[in-house]
Amino acid sequence: MRIRIDHDRCRGAGQCALNAPDLFDQSDDDGTVVVLDDRPPPELHDGARLAAALCPNAVITVLDEP
């Protein structure tokens, strides 16, 4: 799995950091998303998918890679 972010569209709603704190944080400067691990281990995949689904601006893309 790989996580990609469209930083230009992020508005800092924080749903990613609230629902998957092992993978996402928010910038102290502007509150936008910070990815902590763009290639998470399998045990964090569900959290990445949840964060992507809950993002109100749809800035998180989860790519399944072999």
Q: Is-contact 5 33, C-beta < 8 A? A: yes
Residue 12 has pLDDT above 90, yes or no: yes
Q: Which residues contact 4 (CB under 8 A, 6 or more apart)?
A: 38, 60, 61, 63
Convert the pLDDT of each residue in 17-66 to its tens digit: 999 999 999 999 999 999 999 999 999 999 999 999 999 999 999 999 87
Q: Is 54 helix (H, G, I), strand (E, B) or coil?
A: helix
Q: Over the Cα atoms of the chain, what is R_g?
A: 11
Domain spanning 2-56: CATH 3.90.850.10: no
pTM of whole model > 0.95? no
**Residue-level pLDDT at 43:** 97
Q: Over 80: is that where the pLDDT of 5 sits?
A: yes
